[in-house]
Structure 1
Amino acid sequence: MTAPGALPPASADRQTRMGRWRDQLIAYGWLVLAWNLFWGEFTWGNLVGGLLVAAVVLLFFPLPPVTFHGRLRPWGLLVFGGRFVVELVRASAHIARIAVQPGYTPRSAIIAVRLRLPTDLNLALTAEVLSLVPGTLIVEVDRDAGILYVHVLDVRGPADLDAHRAQVREVERRIVEAVGSNAELRRVRTGPVDKESP
């Protein structure tokens, strides 16, 4: 007998299989998108190449199971995409200015930022987005503590370090607003921020 309100074993098994297929499909889509972003342009050749590479990666190097409990929010995705393009252009212009500024040697730093949602998916998405922006690079990820170690360029003082930490948490918030669950969204908007990240 099954408990009241519980799914029959066959139905639960089918739901689990569908969840796995959905997660694989989402991972496939992200890999294709990342491939095109790495090439720097969206062309038919890059799209086909991304589809093939993503299929090979998922077939021969299967990713660990990462359950997606969120939901896609069109407005959040639109805001995330728009802000990402703006930050990409602004960071590229900043790096270009540093490169041509005579006699200026920028200082860099490695900062630790504890994310509000230390899930594998959130860590991976936030790290991926940050790595695509010129001037920032993920050095290490502390999966257990939910901390990203980020290399940042052109740091002039403690205020810049705080600004970079705030920028990382802003990226995390926009990602959750685009693909997070309602509970994750509440947590990222109201959860405490550890200002004393190591």
Structure 2
Amino acid sequence: MHVTPRRRGARASIASVITIIVLWTLLWGDPSVGNLLGGALIAAAVLFALPMTRIRFSGTLRPWPALQLIARFHVDLVLASWHVSVLAFRWRHTPKGAIIGVKLRCANDLVLTSVAQICALVPGTLVVDAHRLTGTLYLHVLDLAGSGGAEKVRADTLELEGRVLRAIGSRADLERAGLVGESR
């Protein structure tokens, strides 16, 4: 069965409306008719008054690498939170921060955004800028010495990009990044 782009867009919009209604109802904690209608109004306002640019997804969702990505994110989150809390309680120590540019191997919008969001969610790292055309992320690192230096931060970010590509990248993206023959 061939689905036209217009039908695919309508299906995505309907799925988005249903998702927003469900989330709205869960936030209120009461599946009343008023909350369902309120959720529908919010969904209509968000999706039709403020349309988002569509991102083409040409990859494949791979469940096992996606689970590994999520698990490693949680480990990184706990470790970085511990590191930042230790820094907060060290008296007379001023961490030396730095802004580091990391050129990603895949300039795909979805991969760039995913890597940037995961980096931004981990304490101690902040995305200062993302250059879409070159696929470069500029990261502010709170404690450069505690993070292992600039090259370690770059290597860790490229490793994160590899995990994202293994989870959602296309075969062509994996080949461009040199990740096809790896066993991880």
With the length of structure 2 as denominator, give the TM-score of the two structures.
0.75
Percent of residue pairs identical: 38
Matched residue count: 166
Task: State the secondary structure of the residue aligned to 1:141.
Answer: strand
Distance 1:23 1:115 in 2: 29
Change (3 A) 1:81 1:173: same
Kept after mapping to 1: 8 A contact 2:130/2:137: yes
2:116 maps to a residue whose letter is A
Corresponding residue to 1:102 among 91, 99, 106: 91
Q: Does 1:179 align with 2:176?
A: no
Change (3 A) 1:147 1:99: same
| 60-69 or 126-135: bigger deviation | 60-69
Kept after mapping to 2: 8 A contact 1:117/1:184: yes
- For structure 1, the residue ranges without an aligned partner over 5 or more in a row are 1-10, 37-43, 192-198
Task: State the secondary structure of the residue aligned to 2:4.
Answer: helix
Kept after mapping to 2: 8 A contact 1:72/1:180: yes
1:25-36 aligned within 5 A = none
Where does structure 1 differ by over 6 angstroms across 4 or more consecutive aligned residues?
Answer: 22-26
Distance 1:47 1:167 in 2: 40
Kept after mapping to 2: 8 A contact 1:173/1:189: no
Map of 1:123 onto structure 2: 112
Change (3 A) 1:24 1:153: farther
- For structure 2, the residue ranges without an aligned partner over 5 or more in a row are 31-38
Kept after mapping to 2: 8 A contact 1:115/1:169: yes
1:178 maps to a residue whose letter is A
Q: Does 1:77 align with 2:73?
A: no
| 158-167 or 17-26: bigger deviation | 17-26
